[in-house]
Each structure stands twice: as C-alpha cells, then as structure tokens.
Structure 1
Amino acid sequence: MIQIGRYNDLPVVRQLPRGLQLDGGRAGEILLPKQYLTGDEQVGDVMTVFIYRDSEDRLIATTEQPKVQVGEFAYLNVVDETKHGCFLDWGLPKDLFVPFSEQRQALKKGKQALVRVYLDDSNRIAASAKIDSFLLDIDDANVYKKGDEVTIVSAAKSDLGLKVIVNGTHWGLIYESDLFEPLKRGDKRKAYIKRVRDDHKLEISLRPLGFAKVEGLAGEVLDKLKAEGGFIALSDKSSPEAIKRVFKCSKNAFKQAIGTLYKQQLIKIEKEGIRLL
C-alpha cells in the first residue's frame, strides 16, 4: 500500500508519451511525468518516488525531493495567503496548505512557520502550526534514559535555552549553557538525552555524555591539530571564550579532551598551546 506524502518504491508498469505509469497497488496506476525521467527507465524497473496530489487532486509521483514528509516537522516560508488559509514552499510545484484552523495565529506571506505535515480526513497532505497537538506528554520515565541518541528539531527560544522537538514526539530543552553551536529554528540533527527529570521533562545535550563525550571531542581536537599543521594556540590556560569559539564546547570539556590525548601520548601540552606528537 502506498504512503501518500512519503517516498515509495514502485515498479514501472507502462511507458506513455507523457511519462511512466507506476503500480500504486490499491491506489491504481500513478503517473511519473516525463520531465523527471532520464530516458533509461524500463518496464519492470523499481523507482523511488515521492507521492503527493497535483492541482487536480490526482495522485502524482515525482523524483524531486520535498523539504519535509508527512509525519515530520519543518520551518518553511509562507508564499501565499487566501481566505481559507495559507501556502508554504516545501520544494514541490504544488505548495503546502495550512488551513486557518491549524494556525495558532494568522500566518503572513513572507514570514516563516514551524509546521508538522499530516494527512487530513480526506487523505490530502496539509500542514499544522499547532505543534503541541502532535507532541506527547511523557508519562513513563522509561521511554528515554540518560545517554540515548535522539533526533531533534530546533523549535523556539525560551528563557532557559532552546526548546526542541525530540524524535518527532516529545518536547525537550537544551539549556543555554549547553548551546555550544548555533542552531536556527527548524535545524535537524542528532542529540542525546542528558536527563529525564522527575516531572518527566527531557533535558538534551548536543554531545554524547560521559566518556563518549570526551572521546568525541578528543577526536575533533586531533583532527584540528592535523589540519593546522600540528599546533593549536589553545591550552588548558586559554579563556573559555577562545575555546568555545574554536571547538563549540566548554573549557572543562576541552580540558578533559586534551587530557585524554595527553594520556595516549598523542599531544604535548605547551605554554602557548598544544602540539601533535
């Protein structure tokens, strides 16, 4: 069964002047227009395509890559407004619709919005800016544990730091003191569970925890040394600001990293910096 609003692997069943007909199972044949073809496709080939609806509400296939799929969050540009809602640029010819009922406040052309893409009751692809309605409360601390790797989407600044969406299902927070690199709204990346609080809120770290954290940063320092010809003018005496500017980490984490490299006899710590052995 095909998944509307996501990538599908579909076999070619017919070649037509206007493109290829793909086997969509119970959905019937789905057209892949000729502008997306290389000319090497044959009947029986399996094509990886994105399935959505065209302006006439017909299922259509494309090899173009949208900025977001159904079930995902993204920060998109508002390109048009109508009396029924607004449209977002998600990288496909037909823009993504956000009904008024799914806007927390009126979205304006030229602005951006963090949205979640979903299928409405008629199996049409739409987007919602009401993020909270798609996120769950954690009522079981066993859902996550300290050190778990997760995927986050940067959502909004708060008084304490940065709110993020964790694995597309829960809210999390990166404290300001742990923001060692800039994250723009909508940025997606790997992160780690720093703590599951007693109230079941998630604290997030951008770096692996514990010894893995030191190993990972130590590797970055080693790579930087090699790239800089074997010497970096930073040491355990350098200012926290100078260290954060180069390695996007705290001074304490940097000291642990170079300590690891020193114990492995990979570097020499000098007064003016560290040198590769």
Structure 2
Amino acid sequence: METVKVGQFNTLRVNRKVEFGFYLEDGAEGILLPKRFAPNHLNIDDEIEVFVYHDSDNRLIATTQKPKAIVGEIAKMKVVSVTKQGAFLDWGLMKDLFVPASKQVSGMRLGGEYLVMLYIDEMTGRVAATEKVENLMSNEELTVKEMESVDLLVYRTSELGYVMIINNKHIGILHGNEVFQQLEIGDKVKGFVKKIRPDNKIDLILGKPGYTKVEDESAKIIRLLNENNGYLPYNDKSDPTDIYAFFGMSKKSFKMTTGNLYKQKKIQFTQTGIQLIEQ
C-alpha cells in the first residue's frame, strides 16, 4: 500500500476493531482511530477517510475531525499557550499545533491570531507550523497564467493594496483601487490573474475573469429587480458608494453589467433608475 501521509487526509482500510476504537491498515501495526471519532456502523474492511497526525506520545493517530489546515496550506489560527520553546495554536484537533520560536516573526502572544503555514518537521516527522510564510513562496517558476482563476489568501497590506498568496505557492498584488469589498488578513477569496509582468510579478483581480463575472452579476441585478417590483433607483449617475453598498459591485461593473442587460433587452433605463422589461 501507499505510504501514509502525515498531516494530510488518507483513505485507509479498517484492519481490526478493539474496545477503544479501530486500527487502520498502514502496512505495519496499524493506526488507531479512537472510538469517539469513528462513525456508527463502521466495520472491518471498510475504507474511511481520516486525517493522520502524531498524538502527545508521538504515535500516529487518525481522526475524522477536520483541521483548519493540512500540510502545505496556510490559515489563520489562535494562540492557546506560549512557552520558551514556542507557541501552540488551536487547529481544530484534540492536540494543538506547535510553532517553534525560531519560526515566529516577532514572538506570538497568547490569544493572538496569526497566519501560519503547516509543514513536516524533518527532525521529528511531526506536523508543525511557521509564521515565516512569504519566504516559502516563489515566483521563479510560475504555475499560473494570465486570466486563470486562482485561490487567494490575504497575507498583508502594502502601499499598493494587498499582498496576496496565490494557490499556496506564489505572491501577487491586489491593487487597492480595484478592491470594492472589506478584506482582512487571513481572508480566503477567489480571483484571477490580471497580468504577469516580465519579472514574474503578478497583478490580481477579485472575482471571475471577463464576461463570466458580468453574467454572474447580471443574475444578481435581475434578482434584485424582481425583489423590488421590477425597479431600482440606480443608474450611471448614481454615487459609486451607493452602488457598492446595494449591489456589492463597483460602479464600473454596474455600468458594464446593466449595459449588457440593456443590449439583451432585459432592462431599460429611466431618468431615475433601471426598469425590468417583462418577458
């Protein structure tokens, strides 16, 4: 069988049942799935997806609990205890996640929330975390291209806007003048690659590329019109802040979307707003 991957989800076969749980096949003595985490009616030879990590006694253990992140992923987590050796974070499992002092940027405080990336410690083989995330990202060999949809994580703010982590691999910039929603450090959002510069620096945009985004926002405007008796008091003369507060989109997107709907003869413009055309 394949080697069990620590710090990740594995699909394993139930090898045997004991009073305190089930042992799952790992090619050796088996990995314990405690009874409290086993689903009802689990039987020998069944296959089950579990998360595998080390317990406090350095034994591999399986759980059906869902951690806040797996190895290779980045997430914001809260510090639950601090020692001279490092800090411990709540990552959604029975055992807390360790961040060595050497992997912290400026020292973690109790109760604070920090962005960390999970990795396997080479010395112990255990899952650990590091706050020094940006050093692990690289734009030397890109795995994305322009107009490609990507997963984004808000890493930090900058003079230009937001520094974003792309697919847990690369760094990009989301320019502040193109952001029309509230963002906080640690937020996970969808976006796409707007431009890749000659030095492999990446410019990003939230949402979906091209007319797919317009079609999505078209559906939103039609729905809002239906919910408001076919009329909304907004047009290209409306204040951008008012448009964003009601529709959740920029004035540029609003004008592009309503123009598309007008061409499709789904709405008409009035002196004070937009009117739904009955089909």
2:274 paired with 1:274: yes
Aligned to 1:66: 67
1:210-245 deviation per Cα after TM superposition (whole angstroms, max 9, x unaligned): 333322322222232233343222122211111111
2:248 paired with 1:248: yes
Aligned to 2:195: 195
2:195 paired with 1:234: no
2:106 paired with 1:105: yes
Task: Go from structure 1 to structure 2 and tell me whether the alpha carbon gap of 1:272 and 1:53 turns closer, same or farther (over 3 Å shift).
Answer: same
Q: 2: distance between equivalents of 1:94 and 1:148?
A: 38
* CA deviation after TM superposition for structure 1 residue 182, in Å: 1.5
Give the SS at the match of 1:238: coil
Contact 1:144 1:196 (8 Å CA) reproduced:
no
Q: 1: distance between equivalents of 2:18 and 2:230?
A: 61
Task: Go from structure 1 to structure 2 and tell me whether the alpha carbon gap of 1:227 and 1:49 turns closer, same or farther (over 3 Å shift).
Answer: farther
User: How do 1:75-114 residues align onto structure 2 when only pairs under 5 Å count?
Assistant: 75-114=76-115
1:139-174 deviation per Cα after TM superposition (whole angstroms, max 9, x unaligned): 56xx43321111111111111111110011111111
Contact 1:21 1:32 (8 Å CA) reproduced:
yes
Give the SS at the match of 2:192: strand
What is the number of residues matched between the two proteins? Answer: 274
Aligned to 1:9: 11
Percent of matched pairs sharing the same residue: 38
Give the SS at the match of 1:224: helix
Give the SS at the match of 2:89: strand
Q: TM-score, normalised by structure 2?
A: 0.93
Q: Which runs of at least 4 in structure 1 moved beyond 6 Å after TM superposition?
A: none
Aligned to 1:130: 132
Contact 2:149 2:209 (8 Å CA) reproduced:
no
Q: 2: distance between equivalents of 1:248 and 1:39?
A: 44
Q: 2: distance between equivalents of 1:242 and 1:25?
A: 62
Give the SS at the match of 1:164: strand
Q: CA RMSD in A?
A: 1.5
Unaligned 5+ runs, structure 2: none
Letter in 2 for 1:226: N
Contact 1:225 1:232 (8 Å CA) reproduced:
yes
1:62-100 deviation per Cα after TM superposition (whole angstroms, max 9, x unaligned): 111111111000111111101100011111111000001
Give the SS at the match of 1:127: strand
Letter in 1 for 2:131: A
Unaligned 5+ runs, structure 1: none
User: How do 1:120-199 residues align onto structure 2 when only pairs under 5 Å count?
Assistant: 120-121=121-122, 122-138=124-140, 143-199=143-199
Q: 1: distance between equivalents of 2:40 and 2:216?
A: 46
Contact 1:138 1:201 (8 Å CA) reproduced:
no
Contact 1:230 1:276 (8 Å CA) reproduced:
yes
Higher mean C-alpha deviation, range 65-74 or range 131-140:
131-140
Q: TM-score, normalised by structure 1?
A: 0.94
* CA deviation after TM superposition for structure 1 residue 136, in Å: 0.6
